[in-house]
Amino acid sequence: MIFWIIIGWVGYCLLPWYMVEGGLWSFEWLFSGYPFDEDFAPALFLTAQGEKLWLVPLLIPLALPLLVLGKPKSDPIYAKILILAGALGFGWLIAQGFGIGIRGFNFDWLKALFGEPKIRQFGMGYGAMLCASAFLFLLTQGIAARGAVNGDVFVVSAIGGVITIVTAFVFFPIANMLFSAFVTEKGAYSVFVFASKFFDDRLWGLGCFWGAKCGAAWNSLFLAILVGLITTVLGLCFALVVTRSGFRFKRGMRALTVLPIITPPFVIGLALILLFGLSGSVTVFFADLFGVQPTRWLYGMPGVLIAQTLAFTPIAFLVLIGVVEGVSPSMEEAAQTLRANRWQTFRTVSLPLMRPGLANAFLLGFIESMADFGNPLVLGGNFDVLSTEIFFAIVGAQYDQGRAAVLAMVLLFFTLSAFYAQRAWLGKKSYTTVSGKGDAGVHPLMPNGLAIPVVAIATIWALFTAVVYGMIIYGSVVELWGVNNTLTFKHYVTAFSVRFEEEGIRWTGAAWDSFWTTISIAAIAAPLTAAVGLVTAYLLTRQNFAGKNAFEFGTMLSFAIPGTVIGVSYILAFNVPPIEITGTGVILVVSFIFRNMPVGVRAGIASMSQLDRSLDESSLTLGANSWQTFRRVILPLLKPAILAALVYSFVRAMTAISAVIFLVSAEYDMATSYIIGRVENNDYGLAIAYSTTLIFVMLAAVGLLQFLVGRVQIGRRTQIGAERTT
């Protein structure tokens, strides 16, 4: 409590209350008239000068906690004062933030009551954020003191913190966007406007059954189901090959499975076009071999399905590898001791224990397919899907924000339906395999009848992936991809040239600015994404509290909405106070955190479903609190989930397209927006060279993360160690 009291007073008295020019990462204000300059002044200085007087009431909730200093938590007044102070302070911050904006009062009744204010209000800065945090966590401490969730301060604070940030950066901007589905041209609200757009034949038509086109909703649904099923099967095949086979090239195959996730989607599309397009090398070869006319079969559902399967299989693999490794060998050995053969052991013991991973892998593949727009944009042809329709509704000549919102609602309905279907399939069964007991067993190899097709499928897909990436690398070192195949490095020189001068190194390449910005944004976003995701997973799997289902729904919401909608909703919501971050690097970090957080949540849930609650209970019995238990017992056993969250969030921040297009600025340009700009200017060589460089950079980053996170050590022998012992 003392810590948060100090934080609140520091925010009010010492730090700039409003966002300074240059954003949160700029510290020039320290040398530019601080603290007396109005642009950099703390709230105390502003109010002392007779300005921003609406900040004066915050002194009351800041002072209230001082009344209970030294009182025990069991004292009834302790909880009441903290709850009162936190609720008053946080509530007043929200009220004045939304009530007073750039042009004064935001509501007519406030203007009538108080008149026009003389000065405007900017978005919150360091001071306002610290005060808001202090009020929030004083409130949660008061709630914990009243006995909520067994009086556990860490759990109550974590729930309060996650609910607040998810509400601010998921519910608020998306709700702001979706309300536009009911807005008429005159600015009024009407259900009939929504109905006319919702029942559009372009959305629900079934013309594909009699030779015409199906609606975008059905196309998206069928495609997402296929992608979810195929990526889950392929991800399981790769996980089994890596953990349950004697395949000699496991490391190489593991690297190939991760490659597609670290590539901008349209680059995979371009490589597929070069291979299987109308003039593609494979298409032309078979056309000449069999004497048939080449077709445009790639453009449509087949091409999008192949591209999305390539792109999203790594997600399934990253989720499943930890689950497959987490299955207890002692259970499998017990089945074999009872004379079950390897096939019976796999079918009746191993596979059922992998159900949480299979369900989560399918869900992520389904949602990713629904939200993806890069691959359908390149390869879709006349195959319309919801994400591309939303994109063209927003950026096309029609600019129909209401139609985009309706399409987003339909997409959200499909993804939430998949989410609840996944929960129903898992049911309330227990999938615990890691307990507090020692387990020195060895995973049995797959039965031959399963190993042969699994290894064959994984090998064929890995070779196909290698061919696609070989074409990408080849395209980066030729003069003009598909036209002039003269080898050259000029694209790399143009993008990444460096000059050594007396003053030091000069980064003269055209791509360096966007490259360093992308690296820094991704490096900041990745650990924050993993932290929020894993804490959320811990709360969902280990704690019971009111509103848990709504809490889980909120954490998945941003993943179900296409990046285009996220980008536009962020611009609309965060271009004005109280959170005014449009055009800064902060908005990019925030969008990446909450766009990619669900992967950390699902990976954490899948892994934590296998950890016996007795581990937590033993730690608590020995005197550790929930925070110590989470940090010292749970986290060390979640290394596969941590790695999955870090890798996915980092590479998606490096390769994201849809939201980035709307959120970049002249100062904060990202790699993908730069690459798209090169593609629009027909500079394919430089675009592919930049993409190839990003692939190698992210491979190095993934290897570094693997080294830093390490692997789970749970006292099991390896297959090699078992053979030596034998």
Picking from 151-155, 231-235, 290-294, 330-334, which range would have the lowest pLDDT averaged per residue? 330-334
Separation between Cα atoms, residue 96 and residue 46, nearest integer Å = 15
What CA–CA distances, in Å, run from 29 to 102, 155, 482, 587, 658?
A: 21, 37, 52, 20, 34
Q: Are 79 and 85 in contact (CB under 8 A)?
A: no
Cβ-based neighbours of 617, under 8 Å, separated by 6 or more: none
Say if residue 438's pLDDT is above 50: no
pLDDT tens per residue across span 623-681:
888 888 888 888 888 777 777 778 878 888 888 877 887 788 878 888 888 887 787 77
Phi/psi at 278 (5° precision): -55, -35
The model's confidence at residue 725, banded by pLDDT at 50, 70 and 90, is very low
Q: Nearest-5° angle of CA 368, CA 372, CA 376? A: 135
Separation between Cα atoms, residue 672 and residue 657, nearest integer Å = 6
Token pair of 652 as six digits: 């998606």
17: left (phi > 0), else alpha (psi -120 to 50), else beta? alpha
What CA–CA distances, in Å, run from 189 to 181, 256, 569?
A: 9, 51, 18
The structure's pTM equals 0.77
Q: What is the mean pLDDT of the chain?
A: 82
Separation between Cα atoms, residue 566 and residue 553, nearest integer Å = 17
What CA–CA distances, in Å, run from 283 to 271, 290, 397, 711?
A: 13, 11, 35, 43
Identify any residues that bridge with 685 across adjacent strands, giving them in sequence order.
none
At 289, the amino acid letter reads L
- Out of 76-85, 248-257, 642-651, 668-677, the most confident range is 76-85
What is the SS3 assignment for 247? Answer: coil
Cβ-based neighbours of 46, under 8 Å, separated by 6 or more: 17, 38, 52, 55
At 506, the amino acid letter reads R
Q: Which helix (H) or strand (E) holds 56?
A: none
Separation between Cα atoms, residue 674 and residue 542, nearest integer Å = 43
Separation between Cα atoms, residue 69 and residue 103, nearest integer Å = 41
Separation between Cα atoms, residue 328 and residue 330, nearest integer Å = 5
Say if residue 403's pLDDT is above 70: yes
Q: Quick one: which of 312, 231, 241 has its CA closest to 459?
A: 241
Look at residue 187 in the predicted model and tell me its pLDDT. Answer: 66
Look at residue 724 in the predicted model and tell me its pLDDT. Answer: 44
For residues 518 and 377, which has the higher predicted lDDT (pLDDT)?
A: 518
Identify any residues that bridge with 104 across adjacent strands, giving them in sequence order.
101
Picking from 448-452, 516-520, 559-563, which range would have the lowest pLDDT averaged per residue? 559-563
Residues in the chain: 726
Picking from 336-345, 458-467, 470-479, 503-512, which range would have the lowest pLDDT averaged per residue? 336-345
What CA–CA distances, in Å, run from 243 to 254, 436, 510, 567, 600?
A: 11, 23, 44, 39, 22
Percent of the chain topping pLDDT 70: 90
At 500, the amino acid letter reads F
Q: In the predicted model, what is the mean pLDDT of residues 391-395?
A: 77
Picking from 22-26, 382-386, 423-427, 435-439, which range would have the lowest pLDDT averaged per residue? 435-439
Percent of the chain topping pLDDT 90: 17
Say if residue 130's pLDDT is above 90: yes
Look at residue 24 in the predicted model and tell me its pLDDT. Answer: 66
**Exposed e or buried b for every residue in 359-372, given b needs 16+ CB within 10 A?**
bbbbbbbbbbbbbb
Ranges assigned E (strand) in 355-494: 478-480, 484-487
Cβ-based neighbours of 352, under 8 Å, separated by 6 or more: none
What is the longest distance spanned by two Cα atoms in the chain?
90
Look at residue 714 in the predicted model and tell me its pLDDT. Answer: 47
Look at residue 118 in the predicted model and tell me its pLDDT. Answer: 64
Separation between Cα atoms, residue 376 and residue 387, nearest integer Å = 8
For residues 18 and 294, which has the higher predicted lDDT (pLDDT)?
A: 18
Say if residue 6's pLDDT is above 90: yes
The model's confidence at residue 436, banded by pLDDT at 50, 70 and 90, is very low
Please, what are the domains in the chain?
A: 2-146 (no CATH), 202-428+440-477 (1.10.3720.10), 490-709 (1.10.3720.10)
Separation between Cα atoms, residue 645 and residue 606, nearest integer Å = 12
Say if residue 3's pLDDT is above 90: yes
The model's confidence at residue 429, banded by pLDDT at 50, 70 and 90, is low
pLDDT tens per residue across span 294-309:
888 888 899 999 999 9
Q: In the predicted model, what is the mean pLDDT of residues 453-480?
A: 86
Cα dihedral 136, 139, 140, 143 in deg (nearest 10):
-160
Neighbours of 275 (CB within 10 A): 18
Separation between Cα atoms, residue 170 and residue 61, nearest integer Å = 28
Say if residue 572's pLDDT is above 50: yes
Separation between Cα atoms, residue 164 and residue 172, nearest integer Å = 11
Look at residue 590 in the predicted model and tell me its pLDDT. Answer: 92
Say if residue 161's pLDDT is above 90: yes
Residue with tokens 């204000």: 29
Look at residue 10 in the predicted model and tell me its pLDDT. Answer: 95
Q: In the predicted model, what is the mean pLDDT of residues 406-410?
A: 84
Q: Are 600 and 533 in contact (CB under 8 A)?
A: yes
Look at residue 560 in the predicted model and tell me its pLDDT. Answer: 65
Look at residue 720 in the predicted model and tell me its pLDDT. Answer: 46
Look at residue 133 in the predicted model and tell me its pLDDT. Answer: 95
Look at residue 482 in the predicted model and tell me its pLDDT. Answer: 61
Say if residue 432's pLDDT is above 70: no
Look at residue 54 in the predicted model and tell me its pLDDT. Answer: 85
- Sign, CA torsion 390/169/652/368: negative
pLDDT tens per residue across span 61-74:
999 999 998 888 88
Cβ-based neighbours of 232, under 8 Å, separated by 6 or more: 316, 320, 358, 361, 362, 365
Identify any residues that bridge with 18 across adjacent strands, giving them in sequence order.
124
Say if residue 117's pLDDT is above 90: no
Residue with tokens 């892998």: 361
DSSP 350-383: IHHHTHHHHHHHHHHHHHHHHH--HHHHHH-TT-
The model's confidence at residue 435, banded by pLDDT at 50, 70 and 90, is very low
Say if residue 719's pLDDT is above 60: no
Look at residue 265 in the predicted model and tell me its pLDDT. Answer: 65
Rounded to 5, what percent of the chain is helix, strand, coil? Answer: 70, 5, 25
